Structure 1
Amino acid sequence: MLKSLDIYGQRNTLKIVVALNLLLVGTASLLYTNRLVERLEEREENYVRLYAKALIHVYDEKSNEDMTFITNEIIFINAKNQVPTIYVDETNKISVHNFTFPPGTSDEEINSSLEEELAEMKKEHQAIVVEMANKQRGYIYYHNSTLLMQLRFFPYVQLAVMIALGFLAYLAFSSARRAEQNRVWVGLAKETAHQLGTPLSSLMAWVEYFRSDPAIDQSIADEIEKDVNRLETIASRFSSIGSIPTLKNEDLAETVQHFVAYLEKRISTKVTMKVESLIPEGKQVMINKLLFEWVIENICKNAVDAMKGVGKLTIRILPLPRNEIAIDITDTGKGIGKSNLQQVFNPGYSTKKRGWGLGLTLAKRIIEEYHNGRLFVKSSEVGKGTTFRILLRESVVSQEPVPEGEKTIKSA
């Protein structure tokens, strides 16, 4: 999240970079187009010069110059324009023009290459028929010149470059927009934590007052104190939004079971909660306990809402290959339609009349941005229920003997 804020702060820089890239592409396109125009101008000039020489022999009766110059000029211009041609006579004997082969190429390789070129030429253009004075007939096949190929593909290359730049600009401005949203969220979260601070201090004072009064049942003060501690935890969660959290090795199964024991007393009594752990006892993962419990809470509360306060909620912790651990949270609620599966983690998406639709969005950010894990909908069926899956990397616990009550832990 902090990285996004940096992008937000540098959005003017992003605009300048995009503008410079567009200017660079525009300038390069202009220079390249001018180069192509110059070559076309040179070609037209050669054709006009050839036409001028032909006019001399048509209108100048004194001219006795051999007309073979026209043949030489045409061959020269064709060579300059780099138009590959193959002439085939009636006996299938071929002669080629504007073809080059690497030194050391054998006759067999040249013949094979020319046969392939001839087949391609026949597909590209219809043959030009050459009628000889001796009534013999030949055929000329040809490829397009290099200049024509450049002109043909240049617009597509230019379009591809512009699309790529447009896509990069879209990504840059989307990042800036998301960063702006993050900035609002961080400010709101920290302000919420600040506002909770004053009434929490007052509530703690009231708890101490209740404890000092022998006429008040002490169990009531104990339960109030638990909820006050819970509010302090929530305030700490909000305060940590926008900051890099500290991750510690924690016993995953114990953390989940402890929090579920707290949570099941504060949700509908008609919802049955069950934790199944298939990982070795004491298996640890690198997590921030406060934020991770927030993720479990958000998913479980969404599940309870989906079941309308009646049903079964199962949390399964199981090992996976590549040192991963999965936490599957399955409910027996109404399920999620296929059209909504991609939207459940979007900010503001909610099927409830009340709520901001931020719970699952925050949960996904906490898991993926802070814990380098994944949170996604593993499966869902309308009318039967939904399973959310959290993927985390497990920690490697040292196998060396350690004193009683101590653990030596090495992060994976």
Structure 2
Amino acid sequence: MLKSFDIYSQNNILKIIVALNLLLVGSGALIFINRIINKLEDREEQYVQLYARALGYVQTADVNTDVNFIVQEVLVANKTIPAIYVNEQNEPAYKLNIDIPQDLSADETKQFLRQQILEMRKNHSPIRVDLRDGDFGLVYYNNSTLIRQLRYFPYALIAILTALGLLAYLSFSSSRRAEQNRVWVGLAKETAHQLGTPLSSLMAWVEYMRSDPEHYEESVTDEIEKDVQRLNTITARFSSIGSIPTLKEENLNEVVTHFTDYLARRISTKVKMTVESNLPPTQVVRINRLLFEWVIENICKNAVDAMAGVGELRLRMIPLHNDEVAIDISDTGKGISKANLQKVFAPGYSTKKRGWGLGLTLAKRIVEEYHNGRLFVKSSEVGKGTTFRIVLNKET
């Protein structure tokens, strides 16, 4: 049987292959264009040498109409190469293919030509023109416009190839994330569906226990009912993954306090949990309560795991500028190394042996995509602890 090829599991190899192909194409183009430019420069130098010999011949040869006609054709044949002839008095005598501003005086024109000569000398050595009695002139020249344009072509090509490579990378990453999202959504909804049957049974058992208070203490039944309701909440959360949630105005102080009261009784008794609020008592935000409580739960449980069940967990609600509020969740756990700070929200990243590595990924998605907020690591120090910050827009 043919084995299936998982394109996503080979992403690093594919990226390397694409990068190497782009590098080879870009390097090949650069080498090829440079070879063409070198050949064109040699050819242009031959033209200028021919032009220099023609100048020397015109100024040294006897009068011969037919020959002078040919020489004149050589002199005017250059239509593209900028050139300046400097005579034996070191004065610019002729120029070719150089645009001189029309408003310059004679002295300014000479100064302009001398500046051009200085630029030409940087690129090419002048060509000697032998004259009578041992005198000589010099022809200065520069590359034609065609060669100057060709020099930029490889870099433009590399920029285009880089842009295409970046588009391919973004397209690949986007398709990969979309595929992962579909898997997560399907997994979440299937989990919610599978939880439905045992939940119905548990709810029936709670009612049975309430019907026989002589055998089952009411306090025990109440706690079991709370946990069943909690499972119902979790099921509702899983069902809402992949759907656009409904946001409602909620009192942030009440939501956080109510949920942390529930959570505090279900985590290690060696973890001291405190909640502090610097917000107005009636501060309102638009959230989906079920999903937002899930975010708080994920971060808090990760904090408890980071402390190995012993330490201090602190939640602090504070107002920010620009009509925003923040919830800082701090622990005294093992902290996150700088190398892993960028990975904590990546799908599949987990420091726990039995973890799926989806909790913080889903929490970030809930905050940023559904609530138009931000979730990030505010600070972390190895051996001292970590602070996560949730930022939400407040309702005024």
Range into which the TM-score falls when normalised by the shorter chain: 0.7 to 0.9
Paired residue for 1:311? Answer: 311
Spell out, residue by residue over 1:262-281, the C-alpha distance to the aligned partner (whole angstroms, 9 max, x if none): 10111000001111111222
- Structure 1 CA distance for aligned equivalents of residues 113 and 387 of structure 2: 64
Partner of 2:125: 126
1:278-357 mapped onto 2 (5 Å cutoff) = 278-357=278-357
CA–CA distance in structure 2, aligned partners of residues 257 and 108 of structure 1: 86
> Does the Cα contact within 8 Å between 2:292 and 2:367 map onto a contact in 1?
yes
Code of the residue aligned with 1:192 in structure 2: it is: T
C-alpha separation in 2, matches of 1:253 and 1:282: 8
CA offset digits 1:241-290 (Å, max 9, x no partner) = 11111112211122111111110111000001111111222111221111
Show the 5 A alignment for 1:58-73: 66-73=66-73
Distance 1:284 1:129 in 2: 86
Query: Which residue of structure 2 lines up, in the alignment, with residue 14 of structure 1?
Result: none
TM-score, with length taken from structure 2: 0.80
Q: How does 1:4-403 map to 2 (within 5 A)?
A: 66-78=66-78, 80=79, 82-95=80-93, 96-101=95-100, 104=103, 113-215=112-214, 216-396=216-396
Aligned equivalents of 2:322 and 2:120: distance in 1? 55
Identity %: 65
After superposition, the Cα gap between the structure-2 partners of 1:72 and 1:249, relative to the gap in structure 1 and judged at 3 Å, is: farther
Quote how far apart the aligned CAs of 1:108 are: 7.2
What count of residue pairs does the alignment treat as equivalent?
A: 347
Give the aligned partner of residue 60 of structure 2: none
Instruction: Work out whether residues 348 and 356 of structure 2, in 8 Å CA contact, stay in contact via their aligned partners in 1.
Output: yes
Q: Deviations over 1:124-176 (max 9, x none)?
A: 22222222224333222222111212332222222221221121122112111
- Per mean C-alpha deviation after superposition, the further-off stretch among 372-381 and 90-99 is 90-99
Deviates more, 1:101-110 or 1:350-359: 101-110
Q: Is the 8 A contact 2:92 2:110 kept in 1?
A: no
Look up the equivalent residue of 2:82 and give its one-letter code. P
For residue 67 of structure 1, give the secondary structure of its aligned residue in structure 2.
helix
Distance 1:109 1:368 in 2: 65
Aligned-partner Cα distance in 2 for 1:116–1:203? 93
In 1, the alpha carbon distance for the partners of 2:367 and 2:196 equals: 26
Shift of 1:120: 2.1
In structure 2, distance between residues paired with 1:202 and 1:353? 31
State how far apart, in whole Å, the 1-side matches of 2:295 and 2:357 are. Answer: 14
Partner SS state of residue 226, structure 2:
helix
Partner of residue 7, structure 2: none
* Offset of residue 102 of structure 1: 5.3
Q: Which amino acid aligns with 2:178?
A: A
Pair 112,213 (structure 1): closer, same or farther in 2 beyond 3 Å: farther
Quote the Cα distance in structure 2 between the aligned partners of 1:191 and 1:242: 12
Unaligned runs of 5+ in 2: 1-21, 23-28, 55-63
2:109 and 2:225 map into 1 onto residues whose CA distance is 92
Aligned-pair CA distance for 1:90: 4.6
**Structure 1 residues 238, 133: closer, same or farther in 2, change over 3 A?**
same
Of the structure 1 ranges 92-101 and 216-225, higher mean CA displacement relative to structure 2 is found in 92-101
Shift of 1:210: 1.1
Taking the aligned partners of 1:116 and 1:350, their CA distance within structure 2 comes to 66
Q: Which moved more, 1:120-129 or 1:185-194?
A: 120-129
2:335 is paired with a residue whose SS is coil
Per the TM alignment, residue 65 of structure 1 is displaced from its structure 2 partner at its CA by 5.6
Structure 2 distance, partners of 1:113, 1:284, is: 72
Output the TM-score relative to the length of structure 1: 0.77
Unmatched 5+ stretches in structure 1: 1-21, 23-28, 55-63, 397-412
Sort the Cα spacing of 1:220 and 1:115 in 2 relative to 1 into closer, same or farther, 3 A: farther
Q: Which moved more, 1:136-145 or 1:378-387?
A: 136-145
More off after superposition, 228-237 vs 90-99: 90-99
**Equivalent position of 2:58 in the other structure:** none
1:4-43: CA deviation from partner (whole Å, max 9, x where unpaired): xxxxxxxxxxxxxxxxxx9xxxxxx9xxx9xx99xx8xx9
CA offset digits 1:275-307 (Å, max 9, x no partner): 111122211122111111111111110000000
Q: CA distance change for structure 1 residues 103 and 367 in 2, over 3 Å: closer, same or farther?
A: farther
- The whole-number CA distance in structure 1 between the counterparts of 2:315 and 2:107 is 73
Query: Within 2, Cα distance between the matches of 1:279 and 1:77?
Result: 84
CA distance in 2, matches of 1:112, 1:245: 74
Contact 2:331 2:385 in 1 (8 A): yes
Call closer, same or farther: CA 1:111–1:333 in 2, change over 3 Å.
farther
CA pair 371-117 structure 1, distance change in 2 beyond 3 A:
farther
CA distance in 2, matches of 1:300, 1:168: 38
- Counterpart in the other structure of 1:401: none
Q: Residues of 2 paired with 1:324 and 1:108: CA distance?
A: 68
